[in-house]
Amino acid sequence: MTRNRFSASRLGAQRVLATLAVAALAGVAAVPAHAADAVVLYTADGLENLYKDVLPAFEKKEGVKVNIVTAGSGEVVNRATVEKDSPKADVIVTLPPFIQQASQSGLLQPYQSVNYKNVPAIAKASDGAWATFVNNYFSFAINPEITKTEPKTFADLLHPDYSGKVAYSNPATAGDGMAVIILTSALMGEDKAFEYLKDLEKSAKFHTKGTGYLDVLLSRNEIAFANGDLQMDLDDATNGGLSLKPIFLSAKPGDAPTTFQLPYAIGLIKGGPNQAAGKKLVDYLMSAAVQSKVPDIYGIPGRTDVPLAGKNGETVKKAIAGVKLIPVDWNQVMDKKAGWNTRWKNEVIGNSGKQVDVVKPKS
């Protein structure tokens, strides 16, 4: 299931079915046969409009078809892990800490693309295993038609008005879900963060397997508040026609709203069936021509020599104005991730029986 791409006019039925297969059974559903004239891209959801815009030119120039499999950021890495001994994909795009997980697990083939040179050292692996493709910010979202007074602090979400109207994605399968734990832990300390999430769970309706489904649920008024990321939320609101507004929360009244960068990163799958075409796809997606189109979907170019420009670029700048950005040590997150997932399962979800893998809106 992709982020808000439920309209047939925006996404062909074939891709919907392919994505549903991933969401339903990551790592088991078969990728279409990999012919010599095809390259397979496993990607976290949220960049569908960019791919739709730029990939036809690549396919025409290289004479190679790009087969896309879209799912939550953790799911695509889990699928690649299951297939490690017989890879089915050539290129992967996912969020941290899952791109670091993929690198540490030996899933990625170091590749120093010529187009990585303008990506800051802090935003790429030193060995070329991955590089930032589209920069982005973690955010939350509301339906502005329903929520007239938007929450300002995390404590605001504990108000009875939000009872049964909160949802966020599962940290084990979605990078944006893990981001909830990262941010609350950074602002409150780990133990208090889990105490807060346990309290928040009283207002949670369910949790989704990936994050993109939440925008549709917000727009349909099935929930009132969700997690997300700035690029996805702005793109879904403008290009998807959904009723939602990205927001940032403060630790306490009077503090500045706070967030951190949550980029899409790209890497080459080790042993992929079409590595030659995979390298060309990485080079192409990191080219100045493609990077210049990233602001069209409210993303921030991964390359420093490509400006955040145009009307949509200005919208991004305005949205982030006044928001405090905090650094994230992704190596530390990798060390904490397994323990956080266990604490979330045991202390937050507990024996509630609450759904943690919702994959689509109600019919």
Instruction: Tell me the CATH number at 248.
Output: 3.40.190.10
Residues 113, 50 share a domain: yes
Q: What is the pTM of this model?
A: 0.83
CA distance 235 to 224: 19
For residues 208 and 344, state if they share a domain: yes
pLDDT of residue 246 exceeding 80, the answer is yes
Tally of CB atoms within 10 A around 256: 11
Domain identity same for 130 and 269? yes
> Residue 86 above 60 pLDDT?
yes
Residue 126 lies in a domain: yes
Tell me: do 206 and 342 sit in the same domain. Answer: yes
Distance separating alpha carbons of residues 22 and 36, to the nearest angstrom: 23
Flag whether pLDDT at 271 surpasses 90: yes
Q: For residue 4, tell me if it sits in a domain.
A: no
* 332-340 average pLDDT score: 95
Q: Per the domain annotation, does 358 fall within a domain?
A: no
Expressed as residue numbers, the domain containing 160 is 139-259+323-349
Is 267 inside a domain boundary? yes
| 75 and 177 co-located in one domain | no
Amino acid at 265: A
Mind listing the pLDDT tens digit for each residue in 117-165?
999 999 999 999 999 999 999 999 999 988 888 999 999 999 999 999 9
Residues 40 and 128 in one domain: yes
**Domain for residue 360, yes or no?**
no
Instruction: Tally the residues of the chain.
Output: 363
| 152 and 187, same domain (yes or no) | yes
Please indicate, yes or no, whether residues 168 and 307 belong to a single structural domain of this protein: no
Cis peptide before 97 (omega within 30 of 0): yes
Specify whether 119 is located in the same domain as 185.
Answer: no
Give me the amino acid identity at 130: W
Please state the rounded mean pLDDT for residues 313-331.
95
Q: What is the Rg, in whole angstroms, of the alpha carbon atoms belonging to the chain?
A: 19
**Res 7 pLDDT > 70:** no
CB 288 within 8 A of CB 303: yes
How many angstroms from the chain centroid is the CA of residue 291?
18
Q: Is residue 283 part of a domain?
A: yes
- Within 10 angstroms of residue 356's Cβ, the number of other Cβ atoms is 20
pLDDT band at residue 35 using 50, 70 and 90 as cut-offs: low
Give 163 or 24, the one with higher predicted confidence. Answer: 163
Angle at 310 between CA 57 and CA 151, to 5 degrees: 110
Same domain, 68 and 214: no
Hey, which bits of 95-145 come out as E strands?
A: 131-135, 138-142
Least confident of 26-30, 48-52, 183-187, 354-358: 26-30
Rounded Cα gap, residues 203 and 155, in angstroms: 12
In a domain, 362, yes or no: no
- Tell me: do 242 and 96 sit in the same domain: no
pLDDT of 133 reads: 98
How would you classify the pairing of strands 131-135 and 91-94?
unpaired
Render pLDDT for 337-348 as a digit per residue (tens, 0 to 9).
999 999 999 999
Q: Are residues 267 and 255 in the same domain?
A: no
In a domain, 49, yes or no: yes
What total number of domains does the chain contain? 2
pLDDT value, residue 168: 97
* pLDDT class of 213 with cuts at 50, 70, 90: confident
